Structure 1
Amino acid sequence: MHVDSHRYGRWVVDDWASSSRFEQDIQAVADGRSDTLDLGRSYHYGAPRELPAAVRQLTGLRTLRLGGSGLTALPGWLAELPVETIDARGCPLQEMPPMPWVRWALDAGKLYAFRRLIDPGRVYGAAIGPGDDAPAIAHLGRLIGERRLSLTELVVETPRGMPSATWANLAEVDRHLDELIAGLPRLRMFGIVDCPLGRVPEPIRRLRHLSNLRLSAVLPEEVPDWLFELPALVALDLSHNRLPRLPETLGRAQRLAELDLSYNPLREIPDEVWQLERLASLDLWGCPIQRIPAEILKLTALTDLRVDETRPELTVPPPEVTARGLDAIKSYWTQERASGMDYLSEAKLLIVGEAGAGKTTLAKKILHPSYPLNVGEGSTQGIAVLSWRFASAVRIAEADGERVLERDFRVNIWDFGGQEIYHSTHQFFLTKRSVYVLVSDERKEDTDFRYWLEVVNLLSDGSPLIIVQNRKQGRMQELDVRTLRQEYPNLVATLSVDLSDNSGLGPTIARVRRELELLPHIGTALPKTWQDVRMALEADDREYITETEFFRICEDHGFTRQTDMKQLGGFLHDLGICLYFQEDPLLSRTVVLQPEWGTGAVYRVLDDPQIMANRGVFDADDLRRIWHEPIYEPVRDELVRLMAKFSLCFRVRATDRYVAPQLLSKVRPTYPWDEPSDLTLRYLYDVMPKGIVHRLIVELHDLIEDEAVWHTGVVFQYETGRAEVIEDYRRRRLQIRLAARNSRVMLSVVDRALNMIHKSYPDLKVERLRPCNCEACVAAEEPTMFSMRELVDFARAGHPIQCRTSHQLVDASGLLSELWQPDDGGTSRRASGPGEVFVSYKWGGDADDMVDEMQGKLAARGLVVTRDRDELRYRDPIQQFMRRLGAGKAVIVLLDDAYLRSKNCMFELTEVADREDFRQSVFPIVLPDANIFDPIGRLEYVRYWEDKRVELDQAMRAVGQENLQGIREELDLYETIRNAIARITDVLADMNTLTAAKHVGGDFAELYRALGEKVGGRTQ
């Protein structure tokens, strides 16, 4: 069955640009994958406040959760559904039909209001909130005292959607709460959440059946010892309290599986935690803990650990390890125990600023103060990396105190070219755990201090920044240092130096050394094997090595597990010591030991005069000309992939040409835009990193409309939808104009791509704005702009919003719905037109006739069948094809032996298999010669693709590198298929798969039924 989930009135979606979670959840119930619907999970209702009509079609609905939804009435037709349980806590219900069979969870006030409609014996859960008055609380106590109410769940909490509610009734709650708890000896779940009670009620200790206890933001002075002696306690939430420590009795909670200590001022993990043998989940997010000790290895049942690795206090294990999760942390300590400890004394010094400011001279004078000033020295092209060593005393924190270790301190000085073209690219190398020096040329007075301060602050996670004013001819620009330090707390010093006579150089070097030695990660303990491998790589003078060679070096220094080797490689990559992209099948084969060599190769392309003259367009011949030295030959494909990885270029579909967006023409091309009722959206940045639109162009290059792309903008097109995106860096904004047709699809595509880009800037602040649509604003050049947050807030409350230009009241829900509701005119196939189904199969075989027949039968029943023979071409077009497999679409896969041995077919299948809803979206038909039901047969296909990979690899070794353009991608594809085919065929074999004979013999009725539930169509 397919549910028309658009028949629901106006709902305000928190994440309006993503696929509607409501649609997904309601379809899951319709498909039989779930029997529960939580309307408060994703949505806050605006107006009207009634249950969506789509729910009426859910004949498999058993449990309904309404908390946070804002519903005021339940319709009479709800009684027609087989609903067994309704949780209405936190829902302002005023009306409901009689449903005597339903089990309820209600607020105390609603239990009182519906006392004549609901049998207390059918109530399993209750909540007391800040809005429940004395009569409601007294009624609850009376029912409990008379034993008419036997609850298993009781919570005292601030409801969702009411974070600012005040507990005016707190004294009343405090007076009755102990009595209520004492009268409910069979409670299994009890909670006090966001209620400043200030104490832990004593009667809790007698709840012998209590398995789930939540005491969040209760703010007690201390936690009583007996709390951890509750015999049935499995889950405990003590989050958002002021607990600097916990009682020693914590170790007695031997059944505890979930422990939430988040947002408490715990500086270390309590030792008693390591005694909890059954603990599976530990939440320490927001706690200022300094280390995750080796004792974590004792928690063998632990599978979920939440810590914030970005907090500066947490230094052990190193953040690069902690960020990789629990397995990486356990591996770190396992290796440390096996090999012993060494200590980190290495950091990066990044020197930035405008071209010609003196960055390179300063870098060289740090190494050799006598380095002569060379007026004719050219500007740095791209990035130069210099090695600096000095004797240091590193402070080591140990369990029994602190000690000082005398050793050499290693610094990699990164000298960044200052030309404008490099600015967007440099962002990929501005890392945390570094010291930054901003060099300004005081003669030119052209340094954009605000830009550099903001971009370093954005990307460096608060790393210390020193401004060095390079005096030339005695001139020095006056800076308002006090104001700058208030705005940029990471600005630690402002120094001046004259590089012509070295005056001021000594204090500058001393301050740089001091900041390097004070970096939080210095002195961090590392497994000795890690440092041994690090030193071996440093002694290797090669530019790059293969992944296999890297593994061999690790084995030579005591590593035995490849997972540990990869973890070390990831750590070295995160520190900028090497480039090792493990998640990329092509790039993972090479470990670049000298990152400046790899980045230098990239910059050679961007700096090439011919490519610049050609507006960023280049091909394989250009790359052979630029990378002509023998060292580049084996890795040309990897270097192109590296450029794509950094969003510096994309391949033009169905050609061998590439485009570097930052070199595109700055002249906006002419293109038609005659779009009635187009929609506008704006992204406003507090700090706008350079090159956002370039990265978006690379990300969505397969959707670029003809030649409508230039240095600061692009037009994307998909089917009938169009989106124009223009960057205005001076105003820190992106302007998006959407054609009214298919606006929802286009907005979703663009917004998702931008979200992925934004996530690469950890502290980036972006506001999404929607222009007012009143008459005055429609005609205005600069209309009133409403933030999406304020529109959602007004729509949730059901209120109009006032235009700041015309002062008219505007429908907030209407402004939102224009962006995400289905388009008029039948453009939304899922909502009002026939369903679209894609078919993937091997052309030219037995499957052709079957697909012909299937296409006719399904089309006759209202389903549009799109054959990949007509729609798809190898490689580039698959990206557009995959975009059409959005939420609610389906793919029929005809599996025969030829399909499973076809690179084109398997490329399509591996792309589809990467989707989260793979099982729900793929409808396999297995032909007789596809041997996927026998494990040995599945292994035969794995062996086939391994043989293909080895055969091609050997053939490539016999051919000159200049003839391998594009061939490496084939090897990459074979490896991807080899790695994925066992998993995919195993999933397909496990699905309810029909044979070809059953489909044809049944006139495709079973297939049609399944497809109809997924994408819609005529059901008769």
Structure 2
Amino acid sequence: VSFLKELKGITSLDLSDNNLSDVSFLKELKGITSLDLSDNNLSDVSFLKELKGITSLDLRNNLLNDVSFLKELKGITSLDLSDNPIVNPPKNIVDGGNEAIQEYFRQAEKYEIEKTYEAKILIVGESGVGKTTLMELLFNPGHLVPSPESTQPSTLGVVVKSDRLFKHPDKKLPNIKAHIWDFGGQDIQHMLHQYFLTDDCMYILLADESTDSAHYEYWFHVINLSGKNSPILVLLNRHKGQNAVIPFDAKLYKETFPNLKILDLGEIDLGNLDHRWGDLINELAFNLSKLPIVGQQTLKPWKAIREEIEKLRPKKYILIEDFDEICYRNGLEEQRDARFLLNYLHKIGFVLHYEEGTLQNTIFLDPNWITHAIYDVLSDAVIINKNGQFKKDQLYEHWQSNLCDKKHTQAYSQDECNYLLNLMLKNHFEVCYSLESKPSYYIVPTKLPNRKPEHEFEAPNSLRFLYLYPFIPEGLLSRLIVRMQEYIEEGKVWLTGAIFHKDGYSAVVLQQDTAQEGAKYIGISINGAELYKCQEFLRNIRREIEHIHRSTFPYIKYSEMVVCNCPVCKKHQTPNFYAYENLQTYLEERGKEIFCTVGNQKVDIRQMIDEVYLPEDFDRDGQKKLIAPKSEIKKKTIKIFLASSFELSEDRREFEIFINRKNKEYQKQGIFLKLVIWEDFIDTMPATRLQDEYNKAIADCDIFVSLFHTKVGKYTNEEFDKVFGSFKGNGKPLVYTYFKDAPINISKITPEINTLLGFKQKLSDLGHFHTIYSNTDDLKSKFGEQLEKVMEKL
């Protein structure tokens, strides 16, 4: 295809699925803006940096491990790098899209780069097979192994132990630092595990002598949803006294899951480390060394920051100000750079941090502290009643009377209970939702009884649609229920379904088994007068399901099933359903109609599709696309800096209360007023950094407010000069000065009054108009009016 280099005027080119290994001739096509090189064997496309005009680039499913050339292509608006063994930049940066990649390379030019040799080992398997024992032995070979007959407590939640060193097989390279995660095996815990399973780690699937209890297929399915590119080492634990264990049928499972890297490590006796223990350690080291994440490049300050945070894990959580201070101490001085690192650490599961809502100022350091508390409640039949409900007060009383675990020997505080309950709600772990009709009560969908309410489930002429899954992960339907809680019809929600209402239209959503072993579907049936509104309601539900797919199960497999719209199927209890991709292929290759075996007639395919999907479901080429996340009001923070002398401490306090009340008004508009005052810095900054941060905060604010009464201090005068100079230069921040007109005790008048008079004259000379206020109510009223006038400009 090298002849294409002669087509100098070409702007769009599709060379996908051509088994190409060298396309360097494309560097001659300087005018190209859209390029599709997906599904080839390309390992080096660095020449693309010369094609500065590219806006759309598809490189998925190739052999790329370095995409640093992208730092030269700042105009890209559409980029797909999926299914490549990329190590530079780190995979989780790549997953964030071109904006994250550009930010990483911006910081790479600013800070030093170094290679890191660390990875995660996730130990999974059923309860009681020896996962916790294996983890303990990896850190301490002298650990006392309990006998099979002993009653060792099962792991509740997730336990993480860090810094287990493995010798790199290449003796010239550093040791590999492993962070080992032990996952509790009880069925009820599987739902939350999915949030911590990732694609850039190594799995150990531990089983014992009973193949019936190993549930290999389940674990392979679960790992396939989130970590299909990771090696899975299957290890059989032979308990003391057994002559042999039933071997793992590697051939069968490799054929069943051809895309998984399943490795059979054979058997081991955890009670006798002379039996293959050294071989096991060598196998683990070898497979760790082959992970793309081991030896990847990262920014040098990141390592020291991570090490410092690791030491803080016993604290369970820290405030975002603490994180900023750690970053600053280790050379990451700009808040923008610190936030970028925080987002990266959240994505790799090192910490948990949510940018919106009530948890935005808190960073959670220990997943076990969270999962232990949540699983503890989910396992308690007293806290959660037979109707799947719990009361907030009763939940808090339980948490506050129970210790967390061996590391955290104190019961949960009131604030910690608030954190944990928030983590159980929508946009976090999505375990429960609040009941509008019963304040302080919550519903856990996975604990609901499986009793269908009275309802006409198959109304004639309803709009029907299915998601068909060869394997459906735990909690998918329950999360959909939590995400759509506002539409639930009172009392009409159960373990395997729910009925939603919106603007006079109803939707029945059910999860059911199919005739095919293991396969399940989520069925949706919409009832209402107008087809368009039914389609819109269906699209809202599809959007939430696709969000769950994308956010937690990136490799989930499913088919969208379109119901036949022939007259017979419209009224039939079991109508014909067709996979959308099959309909599309039939339409392109065979014709416009398909034969329905239920209605015994031909059906128009295009009309069938158009009854389900809306025009916005397709791109300009007619290809169906994923539904974009629901557009939310973009959060905007307006920083207000308040400067005043100590004599006005009461006025300052009232002003702070006023700003808090205004925030409640503005939150629906997506606006947050952040008040910055001197005390904030005294409480959170070390003395060596105090004045620098103070000056920086003044420069970064949107509005600068100063209050005066009988004097003007030296620092206030300097602050004003700096702020007013910035305002004159670039129009920011807006400057408001308020003088309190209140009686002054003559006996307390000092020569400092002259500083006030001199400052007033200074304002007059600068052409700046100040405002007089008589009391705090007057101050709040006047500033509130000025705030409303400038809000749109901000």
Report the equivalent of 1:242: 20
* CA distance, structure 2, for counterparts of residue 900 and residue 941 of structure 1: 20
Matched with 1:477 is 246
Distance 1:498 1:527 in 2: 42
Q: How has the CA–CA distance of structure 1 residues 344 and 708 changed in structure 2, closer, same or farther, with 3 Å as cutoff?
A: same
**Are residues 440 and 588 of structure 1, via their aligned partners in 2, closer, same or farther at CA, if it must alter by over 3 Å?**
same
Alpha-carbon separation, structure 2, partners of 1:332 and 1:214 = 28
Distance (Å, rounded) in 1 between the aligned partners of 2:430 and 2:324: 29
Please report how far the alpha carbon of residue 529 of structure 1 lies from its aligned counterpart in structure 2 after TM superposition.
Answer: 0.7
Alignment of 1:956-971 (within 5 A): none
Paired residue type of 1:579: L
Distance 2:631 2:12 in 1: 43
Instruction: Give the Cα separation in 1 of the matches to 2:159 and 2:487.
Output: 36
| Alignment equivalent of 2:200, drawn from 417, 433, 437 | 433
Q: Which letter does structure 2 place at the counterpart of 1:382?
A: G
**What is aligned with 2:184?**
417
Partner SS state of residue 792, structure 2 = helix
Q: Is the 8 A contact 1:245 1:270 kept in 2?
A: no
Quick check: 1:380 aligned with 2:380? no
Name the SS for the 1:725 alignment partner: strand
Deviation string, structure 1 residues 657-685 (Cα, Å, up to 9, x no partner) = 22221111233344455844334322111
Q: Per-residue CA shift, 1:226-277, capped at 9, x if unaligned? A: xxxxxxxxxxxx9968361525975xx8x75847363364422435x5566x
CA distance in 2, matches of 1:719, 1:899: 36
CA–CA separation in structure 2 for the residues paired with 1:902 and 1:621? 30
Q: 1:596 Cα deviation (Å)?
A: 2.0
C-alpha displacement at 1:376, in angstroms? 0.9
Q: Deviations over 1:821-865 (max 9, x none)?
A: 99xxxxxxxxxxxxxxxxxxxxxxxxxxxxxxxxxxxxxxxxxxx
The DSSP-based 3-state class of the residue aligned with 1:404 is coil
Quickly say closer, same or farther: Cα 1:394–1:555, change in 2 above 3 A. Answer: farther
Assess, with a 3 A threshold, how the Cα gap between structure 1 residues 327 and 785 changes in structure 2: closer, same or farther: closer
Deviation at 1:688, TM superposition (A): 1.3
Corresponding residue to 2:581 among 783, 786, 789: 789
| Amino acid paired to 1:378 | P
Report percent identity of matched pairs.
26
Whole-Å separation in 2 of the counterparts to 1:438 and 1:638: 32
Of the three residues 151, 173, 189, the one matched with 1:405 is 173
Conserved? CA contact 1:239–1:260, under 8 Å: no
> Contact 1:899 / 1:905 at 8 angstroms: preserved in 2?
no
Q: What residue is the counterpart of 1:509 in the other structure?
A: 281
1:653 lines up with 2:436 in the alignment: yes
- SS in structure 2 opposite 1:709? strand
2:370 matches 1:577: no
Which residue identity does 1:529 align to in structure 2? Answer: P
Q: Which amino acid aligns with 2:366?
A: Q
3-state SS, counterpart of residue 446 of structure 1: helix
Structure 2 residue matching 1:568: 3-state secondary structure? helix
Amino acid at match of 1:412: H
Q: What pairs up with 1:399-798 in 2 under 5 angstroms?
A: 404-407=172-175, 409-443=176-210, 445-472=212-239, 473-488=242-257, 489-502=260-273, 503-540=275-312, 541-581=314-354, 583-628=355-400, 629=410, 632-644=413-425, 645-653=428-436, 655-671=439-455, 673=457, 675-728=459-512, 730-741=518-529, 742-760=533-551, 761-772=553-564, 782-792=574-584
Distance in 2, matches of 1:982 and 1:410, equals 56
| Range moving further from structure 2, 510-519 or 643-652 | 510-519
Q: Matches of 2:420 and 2:451 in 1, distance apart?
A: 29
- Judged with a 3 Å threshold, the aligned counterparts in structure 2 of structure 1 residues 467 and 773 are, in CA distance, closer, same or farther, namely same
Is residue 481–residue 494 contact of structure 1 (8 Å, CA) maintained in 2? no
8 A Cα contact 1:681 1:771, kept in partner: yes
What TM-score do the two structures reach when normalised by structure 1?
0.55
Q: Which runs of 5+ in 2 are unaligned?
A: 401-409, 616-629, 634-657, 672-726, 738-783
The 8 Å contact of residues 2 and 25 in structure 2, kept in 1 or not, is answered as no
For 1:787-843, what per-residue CA distance to the aligned partner results, in whole angstroms no more than 9, with x for missing partners? 233445566887331123564323434544544699xxxxxxxxxxxxxxxxxxxxx
Partners of 2:736 and 2:219 in 1: CA distance:
54
- Distance (whole Å) between structure 2 residues aligned to residue 676 and residue 942 of structure 1: 65
Question: Following the alignment from structure 2 to structure 1, what is the Cα–Cα distance between the partners of residues 37 and 788?
Answer: 41
Give 1:985's aligned residue.
792
Mark the CA change 1:784 to 1:675 in structure 2 (over 3 Å): closer, same or farther.
closer
Q: Distance in 2 between matches of 1:363 and 1:686?
A: 33
Tell me if structure 2 keeps the 8 A contact 1:216–1:241: no
Report the CA distance between 1:772 and its aligned residue. 3.8
Instruction: Please give the per-residue CA displacement for 1:978-1011, whole angstroms capped at 9, x wherever unaligned.
Output: xx99997249xxxxxxxxxxxxxxxxxxxxxxxx
In the alignment, the residues of structure 2 paired with residue 817 and residue 275 of structure 1 have an alpha-carbon distance, to the nearest angstrom, of 43
Q: Following TM superposition, by how much is the alpha carbon of 1:437 offset from its aligned partner in structure 2, in angstroms?
A: 1.4
Note the alpha carbon deviations across 1:483-506, whole angstroms, 9 max, x for none: 312333311224222334343444
Aligned mates of 1:611, 1:318 — CA distance in 2: 43
Distance 1:544 1:665, change over 3 A: same
Residue 57 of structure 2 corresponds to residue 290 of structure 1: no
* Residue correspondence of structure 1 range 20-59 to structure 2 within 5 A: none
- SS where residue 610 of structure 1 aligns? coil
- SS of 1:613's equivalent in the other structure is coil
Structure-2 residue corresponding to 1:808: 601
Determine the structure 2 residue equivalent to 1:921: none
CA distance, structure 2, for counterparts of residue 608 and residue 364 of structure 1: 28
Distance 1:596 1:942 in 2: 48
**2:489 aligned counterpart, secondary structure:** strand
TM-score, length-scaled by structure 2 = 0.69
Structure 1 distance, partners of 2:3, 2:631, is 54
Q: Whole-Å Cα distance in 2 between the matches of residues 774 and 608 of structure 1?
A: 49
**1:355 maps onto 2:119 in alignment:** no
User: What amino acid is aligned across from residue 470 of structure 2 in structure 1?
Assistant: D
- Partner-residue secondary structure (3-state), 2:122: strand
Question: In 2, distance between residues paired with 1:807 and 1:569?
Answer: 59
Quick check: 2:122–2:181 contact (8 Å CA) kept in 1?
yes
1:140 corresponds in structure 2 to none
C-alpha separation between the residues in 1 aligned to 2:541 and 2:22? Answer: 45
Write the letter of the residue equivalent to 1:317: P
Q: Are 1:468 and 1:496, in contact at CA under 8 Å, matched by a contact in 2?
A: yes
State which of 664, 667, 670 in structure 2 corresponds to 1:910: 670
Aligned to 2:173, what secondary structure does the other structure show?
strand
Q: CA deviation at 1:362?
A: 2.1
Give CA deviations for 1:562-620 in whole Å, capped at 9, x if unaligned.
11111111222222221122x22432211122222222232233233322335432233
Alignment partners' CA distance in 2, 1:759 and 1:451: 21
Residue 431 of structure 1: how far off its partner (Å): 0.9
State which drifts further: 676-685 or 525-534.
676-685
How far did residue 467 of structure 1 move? Answer: 1.4
Specify every segment of 5 or more residues in structure 1 that has no aligned partner in the other structure, as ranges: 1-196, 218-237, 396-402, 823-881, 886-897, 912-934, 945-976, 988-1020
What secondary structure does 1:267 align onto? coil
Structure 2 contact 351–366 (Cα < 8 Å) conserved: yes
1 CA distance for matches of 2:84 and 2:736?
A: 48
Structure 2 Cα separation of the partners of residues 669 and 765 of structure 1: 31
> What does 1:216-227 correspond to in 2, within 5 Å?
216-217=14-15
How far the C-alpha of 1:777 sits from its partner, in A, is: 5.5
**Distance apart, 1:200 and its partner CA:** 3.8
Query: Helix, strand or coil for the counterpart of 1:384?
Result: strand
CA distance in 1 between counterparts of 2:528 and 2:367 reads: 46
- Please give the alpha-carbon distance, in whole angstroms, between the structure 2 residues aligned to 1:748 and 1:575: 31
Going from structure 1 to structure 2, the CA distance change for 1:470 and 1:775 (only over 3 Å counts) comes to farther
1:821 and 1:336 mapped to 2: Cα distance? 44
Aligned length: 619
Of stretches 727-736 and 541-550 in structure 1, the one that deviates more from structure 2 is: 727-736
Q: Determine helix, strand or coil for the equivalent of 1:315.
A: coil
Q: Residue deviations 1:351-383, cap 9 Å, x none?
A: 112222222222222223332332210211122
Give the 3 Å change call, closer, same or farther, for CA 699–337 of structure 1 in structure 2. same
Within a 5 Å distance, the mapping from 1:812-891 to structure 2 comes to: 812-819=605-612
Following TM superposition, by how much is the alpha carbon of 1:523 offset from its aligned partner in structure 2, in angstroms?
0.8
